[in-house]
Amino acid sequence: MALYRKHNGRRSARTVRNAAIVLVLLLFAAATLFPIYFMIISSFGDPVEAAAMSYSLWPDKVSFASYKFFMDFSPHSLRWIGNSAIVAASVMITNVVFASLAGYAFSRVRFKGRSVLFSMLLVAMMVPYQVTQVPLYILIVNTFQIQNTYGALILPGVVTVYNIFLAKQFMSTIPGEILECAKVEGCNQLQIYFRIVLPLSKTVLAVMAILTFMDSWNTFFWPFLVTNTMDMQTIQVGLKNFRFANTTYFSPMMAGATISALPMFVLFFSLQKYFLEGVTVGAVKG
């Protein structure tokens, strides 16, 4: 990382600098991590009602009863996780494919009406979902009649404007000369996209994949609206069933939240090499 001085030959200076950085990062990390920490220690509590929340910084006892309670609570507990995985994975794949294509077109391909179309996309993003959700519901449930299907869960998220925008911004930093060269060598746009743009965009596509997956995984309200049987619910909808009349089964809810966060860690660590090794033009050219 040549942004920083290499301190060649002065190892101690580098060590001191990095130690200072780590300290700052750790302080901020502590603040960031606290809620997660609390979520996890609470999940080891007993499955009792909300008033039993202990509000202590250390777990009084470690019990897996809440995890068992979560699994036993409904015969569909595992199925919820499966449904979430199906929906999130589908949405992730379609977004990475189609949003990157569109992002490339909007940033690097000249065609009539490009900026108008893109402005339209952005403006639609600015209308709050509280209002668009009723027409969308009418479309999916009353017109298409696909409530309680994977289609209803997946279709509205197939390509998001957010991802198109993200792809567009990253692809606009690819130096124009490379694309020009390819053109001169007789590549058509599809070839340029696959041979040059895609390899150069691995990092952002990995980021897009994980953010989209996570977003879809955490969505509560839409799946809640369009499912009406337990076996089609996603994990977030299922989790909410823990909240009872005047009480909340607190620890099992936290256990469920912890379980539902696990796939995201797995995804994160399996995609991490793409985050870590940024792809630069130099690397590709060389």
Partner 1 sequence: MAITQTVSSGKKRRIRGDGAWGYAFIAVALLGYALFTAYPVISAFFISFQEYKPLGSEYVGFDNYSATFRDPLFWKSIRNTIVYTILTVPVALALSFAIAILILPLKKRLQTTFKAIYYLPVVASGVAMSVVWLWIFDPLPAGIFNRLISIVGAPNQNWLGASGTAMFSLVIMAWLSSHGASIIIYLAALLGVDESYYEAADLDGATFLQKLWHIVIPFLKPTTLFLLVTGVIGSFQVFQNAYLMTGGGPDNATTMVGLLIFNNAFKYFEYGKAAAQSLVLALLIAGISMFQFKFLGKDVEY
Partner 2 sequence: MTRKAQVLASVLALTVSMTALAACSSNNKNNGASPGGSQSPSGSASADAGSSGGKDTITALLPPVSSGFQDRFEQISKDFNAKYPNLTLKIEPASWEDMTQKLDTQVNAGSPPDIAFIGSDGISKYLQQGMLMDITDAVDSNTYDDFDQAPIAYMKKGEGLYGFPAYMEVHALGGNRQFLEDAGIDWKKVQKEGWTFDEFREAIHKGVVKDGDVTKRYGFVFANSGVTSRDYLNILIKNAGMPSAFTTDLKYAYTSKNFLEVLKDVRLLIDDGSMPKELGSIDAGKRWNMFLTGQTMITGKGLATFENSANKNNEKIDANDGSAVKGSIKVDYIVLPVPTFLGQPPMSSTVVDGYVTFRGKKEPTPEHKANIVKAAYFLASGQVAATTNNELFAAHITQSGRKAAESMTVNRNPDNVAAVETLLSHASPARPDIPVELGAKSIKLEDEVIIPKMQALLANEIKPEDMYEAVKAAAIKTFGEDGVVKD
Residues of this chain that bind partner 2 (CB under 8 A): 46, 48-56, 60-61, 133-135, 137-139, 141-143, 145, 221, 224-225, 228-230, 240-241, 243-248
Which partner, partner 1, partner 2, none, binds residue 195 by CB below 5 to 8 Å per kind? none
To partner 1, the closest distance from the beta carbon of 75 in angstroms equals 22
Q: Could you say whether residue 224 binds partner 1 (CB under 8 A)? A: no
| List 16, 134, 231, 247, residue binding partner 1 (CB under 8 A) | 134
| List 75, 180, 181, 228, residue binding partner 1 (CB under 8 A) | 180
**Binding residues among 75-104 for partner 1 as defined by CB under 8 A:** 98-99, 101-102, 104
Which partner, partner 2, partner 1, none, binds residue 154 by CB below 5 to 8 Å per kind? none
Which partner, partner 1, partner 2, none, binds residue 187 by CB below 5 to 8 Å per kind? none
Which partner, partner 1, partner 2, none, binds residue 2 by CB below 5 to 8 Å per kind? partner 1
Angular region, 112: left φ>0, alpha ψ -120 to 50, beta rest: beta
| List 109, 194, 199, 270, residue binding partner 1 (CB under 8 A) | 109
